Chain A
């Protein structure tokens, strides 16, 4: 931008203020996403606390919310990662079930021959289960990145395949049995806070750091915001997609471990209602389904909001179908709200762009300070 050096002082101040204001605006936007969820959380909590305080404010109920939030929350964070690159991962719940089934099968198999060995190998069994999740993620990554299938269809198909394998494996029955150590972790608390919830926070912080503080995170954001621009700026979309879907597979596997930690059973059709729920949480938490924008904090808060709403619906005796209506309405409402706000914002950006171009080509400023007439001519002829 050669003309910038020739700008008048007023023009420079103008540009600088403009940039500062726009940076502020972008911060306010993020904060509003998180702030909105905080407000919703408080409102939802207060509403159900007033409607049925005896059931809802019971410490057991509150602990239940904190125990059930992690499995949904980790799946939602995985979904957020996929959406960040402009994709989606519908196979997450199937991956989690496959992991849970692997753990349960291996454990019950070992217990039959040697119970003591089965207990001591608990950690290995869990690792193998998580590895199954990562392998499933690798299959997704291969189909999406190497073969080039759209994420929706690829994961719709793998969801069906993983689910089919799980049905064949279990014969459609529920498996019982999990390493005792897992159940012990599932029941333990630190200062009244369930360990599972603390684990969830650790995972959330790690993924948050991955997205916001690492080159990989920056690349996923660029890839989602504009794949073509990402390609021309030298980002290897293949490695970004592989990294993303391997991570979602890993998180799916972790969610599977949580399934079996909370309840020592595994089946092919556990948590089928989570597919919609997890998308709702991701979008509610401020993730742009078109890609490029997401906050893990928002997703964690959205998870809590929906868990509070669900447990509140239970407390005031509404059915799970009414909860699914509420989910759908909330999802569409938030997307419509975001879309309306996004349109306003894009109009704002468009106007600042015209102003920037105007200031760069010194339109309306002192013409004598613009010796670069060729550039000014080019702008004028456009």
Chain B
């Protein structure tokens, strides 16, 4: 095999099924450009702060990725995340007891799963458009949280959570750079979901449902049951994201997280997941989150006002999805031409 041929066969593998390679190259180029522009950028401190800011969006993005692969779109995950986390903290605070971090985690996940079940049951049972259902449940969950559970900011977390908020995996005192311990659970969840999507029948089923629901049904996948389990899982993962957000911020604010949905969805779509379902990868999603956080961070460093961040994420989304749409259109045109030639 000549070198040229080997390069040719290597290229698609490097680019990846969902353009992960392209994303990685963009990230590397951005890091190089930023390091040249601003010497203070290329430091461990910046690295750790980007990782820290990417923790919660990564978890939420993994949850959204699952929904998008299955062919839906979810805007209620942020409401579920803060609902589960705030309710847990609120109960521990008003009851003056601390069930330990495992107890808190299980309780929050249970709440998240129940809220996810509501989404899943309505979407799967009645086959309604997911965007509109989750828009409705977003309003319902947020309303229930603020009316019946609490609308007050809680500054005092249970001790087990407060302890975690200051725990660091790596601490470099000289440059005041800290890598929080919470990186570990985030990494574990990311790896578990990646394994589930690639190696289990449930994972294949999600891709199958997203590719073509009717085909998945005829291939023998229990579509309704898978969808309900999927939305429960998404609710539980979102709840973990909410808990991590609360721990990192060292307070529980029921108004938080809601409003960041678009950044998360943008990251997932940038990471190569197809909005029509059936395509997407965990690696791409994580790279997408990193890219969004990197750009937010760079804008800040370059002195661009934070007001522009909103517009910047929107433009990023248009460019990312636009390229996807144009290439899909070109691909479909190519098949069309081939068909006529063969006929």
Contacts and interface: CB of A to CB of B under 8 A. Distances in A.
Contacts of A171: 307
A339 B305 contact: no
B127 A339 contact: yes
Candidate in B142, B262, B265, B276 with the most chain A CB atoms within 10 angstroms: B262
Contacts of B311: 160-161, 163-165, 167-168
Contact of B305 (A150, A168, A325): A168
A58 B3 CA distance: 85
B231 to A, nearest CB: 14
Contacts of A319: 146-147
Nearest to A325: B143
A48 to B, nearest CB: 19
Interface residues of B, number: 44
Interface in A149-172: 149-150, 152-154, 156-161, 163-165, 167-168, 171-172
B336 to A, nearest CB: 13
B137 interface: yes
A276 B136 contact: yes
Contacts of B146: 319, 321
Contact of B325 (A149, A168, A324, A329): A149
A152 B73 contact: yes
A156 B143 contact: no
B163 interface: no
A261 interface: no
B97 interface: no
A278 to B, nearest CB: 11
B328 interface: yes
B262 A164 contact: no
Candidate in A152, A157, A167, A280 with the most chain B CB atoms within 10 angstroms: A157
B108 interface: no
A34 B18 CA distance: 46
A143 B136 contact: no
Nearest to A156: B262
Interface stretch (A189-197, A330-338, A358-366, A374-382): A330-338
A156 B261 CA distance: 10
A158 B132 contact: no
B136 A280 contact: yes
B122 interface: yes
Contacts of A328: 135-140, 143
A321 B136 contact: no
B313 A322 contact: no
Nearest to A152: B131
Nearest to A275: B135
Interface of A: 88, 143, 147-150, 152-154, 156-161, 163-165, 167-168, 171-172, 275-276, 279-280, 283, 289-290, 319, 321-325, 327-329, 331-332, 335-336, 339-340
Interface of B: 73, 122, 126-129, 131-133, 135-140, 142-144, 146-147, 262, 265-266, 269, 275-276, 305, 307-315, 317-318, 321-322, 325-326, 328-329
Given A158-B314, A160-B313, A161-B315, 4 more contacts: A150-B325, A164-B309, A168-B305, A335-B128
